Amino acid sequence: MSQQGFGPDDLIDCYRRGVFPMSDSREDDFFYLVEPKLRGILPLDQLHVSRSMQKFRRKTTFTVTINQDFQSVIRACAEERDGTWISFGIEGLYTLLHWRGEAHSVEVWEGETLVGGLYGVTQGGAFFGESMFSLRANVSKLALIHLVERLNAKGFVLLDTQFLTDHLTSLGAIEIPQAEYLEKLKYALNIQARFD
């Protein structure tokens, strides 16, 4: 699908239907819509924080902020790995959503240097996690812990991780069939929650 003529409202419609876009490269002008048969979620009441991570969090000098540098976070997520799915066009769409208050970032700082973070999209009581990056050990976990705490405090009921990774599994993420995910999504979209 071409990115021409595809705007932020179309992107929001995708999330509300349970699909999300991916490109094949940073420079790709096209993207495709993904609907996994098995969907990764992190139940908000089942976050697992290991003892070592609890200790790290108590002693760390890293600071965590919300929505302070969305553009740097999404750019870092795109540049962290070869063959990124975050094309320049997709980056632009998410930036528009951020300006509209529908996409958000969590940043982790070492002094004034951005060393990790994540971003995602919100609709109703759902947070659709998109990507995260980490330049120091444990900082992506730190960002995710802060995200879950904020979602719980703000009344969210669904954290979509799209796919399951070992990293996410270690924090309590699970896989569910897409049909079950769509039921949870339907419920979440009827919840009134504000991220910021």
CB atoms within 10 A of CB 23: 22
How sure is the predictor about 89, in pLDDT bands with cuts at 50, 70 and 90?
confident
Predicted TM-score of the model (pTM): 0.94
- Domains of the chain in start order, with CATH, are 8-189 (3.40.630.70)
Which residues in 36-191 belong to E strands, given as ranges? 38-41, 63-66, 103-110, 113-123, 126-134, 158-162, 174-177
pLDDT digits (tens, 9 = 90+) for 131-151: 999 999 999 999 999 999 999
In angstroms, the CA 23 to CA 175 distance is 23
